[in-house]
Amino acid sequence: FFDGAENKPLAGRKMIVTAGPTHEPIDPVRYIANRSSGKQGYAIARALAKLGAAVTLVSGPTRLPEPEGVTSVQVESAKDMLAATEAALPADAAIFAAAVADWRVASAADQKIKKQDGDLPDLKLAENPDILATISQLSEGRPNLVVGFAAETQNVLENARLKLGRKKCDWIIANDVSPETGTFGGDDNRVHILNGEGNQTLPLMSKEDVATALAARIAEFFHGK
Ligand code: CTP
Ligand code: CA
């Protein structure tokens, strides 16, 4: 068979993809979560592996099967996702498709919280570590290409460009996740790729096709490097 550099332009490259939501424990039986399905991140992991990359998928809890040909690491919380991502370094590229919970309960209870005659539990929140910003700003061992996502419900491009600057990643993949778009948890996605050179808007397509297009762009980035 012909299976050389043409078909596997990312052979020999290591890539990390985060995907899915995180679950932040309240007590042993309850958690804070979000509606992320993990579909877009899983599709990206598969598309990169198809181009020959050695992919580690760091995934929060989803209903998706672990993709074949990819190393999967399953985590629950944002803190665990950060630790698993750091453990997967070094990498040539890191793609942060996870919908990381912004907050966790400051001190999760060891035992199930019981109702107490109308006395409501007082859940104090703490901010989670920003995994993308942490990896983007590593002084040593930073991946050559760091890609973030920006899920927005308004002013998509403006908010995404602010995120690109704030987090110091190389590319931001922005998308509109307003409920009427059906993007968050759905099968289709319309994304904008933002970087130092400008913005590029891809047509509405399946998350599989977004992943294929993105993997091709990543292969282009590494071509000749
Ligand atoms: N991200 C991350 N760790 C976090 C929060 C976000 O790695 N604790 C990553 C996401 O995976 C995504 C990017 O940062 O690639 C942007 O996530 P988003 O939730 O849009 O950004 P936030 O900075 O959390 O801003 P917002 O207030 O809009 O939620
Ligand atoms: Ca967020």
Q: Which residues are annotated as a binding site for CTP?
A: 102, 112, 129-132, 149, 163, 167
Distance in Å, CA 117 to ligand 2 centroid: 35
Where are the strands (E) in the chain, listed by range? 14-19, 24-27, 30-32, 54-59, 71-74, 93-96, 103-105, 125-127, 145-152, 171-176, 188-189, 191-195, 198-201, 205-206
List 34, 128, 175, 195, catalytic entry: 34
**pLDDT higher than 70, residue 4:** no
Distance in Å, CA 76 to ligand 1 centroid: 16
- Mean residue pLDDT of the chain comes to 95
Distance in Å, CA 224 to ligand 1 centroid: 31
124-156 tens-digit pLDDT = 999 999 999 999 999 999 999 999 999 999 999
Residues framing ligand 1 (Cβ under 6 A): 18, 78, 96, 98, 100, 102, 128, 130-132, 148-151, 163
Distance in Å, CA 103 to ligand 2 centroid: 9
User: Percent of the chain beyond pLDDT 90?
Assistant: 90
33-68 tens-digit pLDDT = 998 999 999 999 999 999 999 999 999 999 999 999
ipTM entry: 0.99
Instruction: Give the CA count within 13 Å in the CB-facing half-sphere of 147.
Output: 25
Top mutation candidate among 40, 75, 100, 156 for ligand 1, by most atoms within 8 Å of CB: 100
Lowest mean pLDDT among 59-63, 138-142, 174-178, 218-222: 174-178
CA distances from 7 to 48, 180, 214 (A): 12, 38, 16
Atom of ligand 1 nearest to the CA of 98: 11
Query: Order of strands across the sheet with 14-19?
Result: 71-74, 54-59, 14-19, 93-96, 145-152, 171-176, 191-195, 198-201
Respond yes or no: is residue 34 known to be catalytic.
yes
Residue nearest to atom 4 of ligand 1 (CA): 130
Residue 198 β-bridge partners: 195
